[in-house]
Amino acid sequence: MHYEGNIIRPPSEANSILLQITVGCSRNKCTFCGTYLGERFRIKPDSIIIKDIEFAAKYCQRQRRLFLCDGDALIVPQKRLLKILQTIKDRLPWVTRVGAYANAKSLDMKTPEELQTLKTQGLGILYMGLESVDEITLKKINKGAKSSHMIEMGKKAKEAGMKLSVTVLLGIAGRQRSQIHAAETGRVLSAIDPDYVGALSLMLIPGTPLFDDFQSAEFTLIEPDEMLAELRTMIAGTNLSRGLFHANHASNYLPIKARLPKDKTATLELIDRALAGNIALKPEHLRAL
């Protein structure tokens, strides 16, 4: 495989074939993210992508899922993306699902009909990073989208028949807006009604603008119990018709895997026990991105 730079994939795609079709992220301006620092976004040549598919055809016959890397593969023009998906179907017929990251911008660039076509060609799940939907926080972290647009684009993906996994980031609003961030995020998650929610806990990365703000005391990194309180408010305000809410990423202090709405009450009780000191939290040295 011809990998370039940092290769990022969702935790649920750990066992997938990782096919890099873009390098970097088309946005690459979020203040908290250091993944693609200094990396210019570009789409890889079709010739390289085809060679990697041929490699997978020979060496990845036991893997049933494939993930299109990197940060925003959905932004690839429709004709080229369809060609890639068709080649995957032709050369990797055992692959049952293709996934990719998406954001509000790339979803907005696709018509509903184009998304439906991508679905029929095998693109079965999109991973959308909300991080926060508190408008003040969104502006501070330079996310480049508003909550109303995120709701609209999330619903658009769902209506096209895609599975949708949404990522939110505990602690990203700092201390002053922590609970506002949590409540607003629960509201927007309820409006989108994704199939999966993944809650990560903020870890500051040297070299990012947010880390610089932390160093200069312009941003306050909240304590573990405050992140748990934030998570509690978020889950309490999230009403999914039938979805999984995960907070079991390596960055989280308390592993949680809940099916909503069935497990909501038990999950809130679990968090309350942890906040009361009756459940040990993950020590700092075991956390990771």
Domain ranges across the chain = 11-286
Percent of the chain with pLDDT over 70: 100
186: left (phi over 0), alpha (psi -120 to 50) or beta: alpha
Q: How far apart are CA 123 and CA 19, in angstroms?
A: 13
Beta strands in 145-242 (DSSP E): 163-170, 196-201
The pLDDT, as a whole number, for residue 38 is 83
Banded model confidence at residue 71, pLDDT cuts 50, 70, 90: confident
For tokens 């991973």, the residue is: 127
Amino acid at 106: S
Q: What's the CATH fold of domain 11-286?
A: TIM Barrel (3.20.20)
Mean pLDDT of 48-57: 98
Task: Report the C-alpha gap between 173 and 138 in whole angstroms.
Answer: 9
Q: Is the pLDDT of residue 171 over 90?
A: yes
pLDDT number for residue 286: 85
d(C-alpha 134, C-alpha 138), whole Å = 6
**Conformational region of residue 100, where left means phi above 0, alpha means psi within -120 to 50, and beta covers everything else:** beta
Q: How far apart are the first and last CA of the chain?
A: 24
The residue-averaged pLDDT of 154-180 equals 97
Rounded Cα distance between 27 and 142, Å, is: 10
User: CA-CA distance, 145 to 119, in Å (whole number)?
Assistant: 24
